[in-house]
């Protein structure tokens, strides 16, 4: 058995087909290719400003359809921010507060807007703190303002 194995190994090593893939033949330097003569430089093509046609005016039906789609997107975004805000995201609380203040995707509600901004500010959201400062102190509601003087009068 040993002589057969030795003979097979000897044949493989002596065989010329394997010699062509030796490490020496695979790593020898490649002859550099001849360089083509340099062509004279051509001037760069001038960029022609694209003339865009002004956007066409939408028909009233198209405008109504676009507005409906925008309103649907606003409601979806509002729902998304509300879900995230209830989970505790300070940025979502800030965005939800802004949406309540502007009425984007929901009915305008300044009280809820301030509440959500206060929650975001409490978590350290800088923009919420700034927005609350811009809004100023919460306006006293009419029944609360009327009750306050009568409470002071009793003292």
**DSSP secondary structure letters along the chain:** -HHHHHHHHHHHHH-HHHHTT-HHHHHSPPPPPPPPPPPPPPPPPPPPPP-PPPPPPPPHHHHHHHHHHHHHHHHHHHHHHHHHHHHT-HHHHHHHHHHHHHTSSS---HHHHHHHHHHHHHTT-HHHHHHHHHH-SPPPPHHHHHHHHHHHHH-
- Asked whether residue 102 is domain-assigned, the answer is yes
What percent of the chain shows pLDDT beyond 90?
Answer: 47
- The enclosing domain of 132 has a CATH number of 1.25.40.10
- On the question of pLDDT at 58 being above 70, the answer is yes
- Asked whether residue 9 is domain-assigned, the answer is no
Domain count within the chain: 1
pLDDT at 15 (0 to 100): 61
- Asked whether residue 87 is domain-assigned, the answer is yes
- Asked whether residue 144 is domain-assigned, the answer is no
Residue from 96, 101, 82 nearest 125 by CA: 96
Give the residue, 137 or 37, on which the prediction is more confident. Answer: 137
- Asked whether residue 83 is domain-assigned, the answer is yes
126-135 helix and 90-102 helix, angle to the nearest 10 degrees = 30
Residue from 63, 64, 47 nearest 55 by CA: 63
Q: Which domain holds residue 69?
A: 60-137
111 falls in which pLDDT band (50, 70, 90)?
very high
Query: What pTM value is reported for the model?
Result: 0.54
Give the residue, 42 or 58, on which the prediction is more confident. Answer: 58
């Amino acid at each position: 058995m040993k002589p057969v194995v030795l003979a097979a190994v000897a044949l493989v090593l002596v065989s010329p087909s394997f010699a062509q893939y030796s490490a020496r033949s695979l790593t020898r330097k490649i002859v550099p290719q001849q360089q083509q003569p340099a062509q004279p430089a051509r001037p760069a093509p001038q960029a022609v400003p694209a003339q865009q046609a002004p956007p066409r005016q939408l028909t009233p039906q198209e405008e109504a359809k676009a507005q409906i789609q925008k309103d649907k997107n606003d409601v979806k975004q509002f729902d998304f921010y509300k879900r995230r805000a209830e989970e505790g995201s300070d940025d979502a609380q800030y965005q939800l507060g802004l949406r309540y203040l502007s009425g984007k995707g929901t009915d305008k509600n300044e009280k809820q807007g301030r509440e959500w901004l206060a929650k975001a500010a409490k978590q350290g959201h800088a923009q919420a703190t700034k927005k609350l400062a811009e809004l100023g102190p919460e306006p006293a509601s009419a029944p609360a303002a009327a009750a306050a003087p009568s409470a002071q009068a009793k003292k």
